[in-house]
Amino acid sequence: MVFRFRPGWEKAFMVGCPLTGIPLMLVLAWDDCPPWLLFTTLALAGIVLWGTSPAMVSYAQQQFPKGAGLASALTMGMSWGIGGMIHAPFTSYFAKAGTPQMAFAACAPCLLVSGLIALGMPGCPPAKNVDETDSA
């Protein structure tokens, strides 16, 4: 996804990637999923959902251009930290219930919420020319 990513597409990726991931998560939750479909869907889900990472970092850096490093660190720390805190109980619960694949289904509502929140976020500020940034 990073090779398809272009500046200015941050919000579209932050909305589109999670929403595209929902049906993929539901296929991964299918108990009798054929192995070829499971592996194909797992690869596609990895590609699509990892596409959000560079978009989030780029978005954060554009929202806070004077603190780009801090914005990147907070973005990744919050997403991995909160995501881990949410997903760990899902995984544990469904593993104990004998249906570990259902942890994927539990991710679908989180992806929906993520896409909807991203939809409501402001767009990125317009890019400045190099000449405009250091003219003072």
The residue-averaged pLDDT of 81-107 equals 90
pLDDT value of position 123: 73
Distance CA 59, CA 37 (A): 33
Average pLDDT, the chain: 83
**Mean predicted confidence (pLDDT) in 98-112:** 93
Average pLDDT over residues 48-74: 79
DSSP state of 129: P
Q: Which two tokens stand for residue 106?
A: 């539990």
Residue 53 has pLDDT above 80, yes or no: no
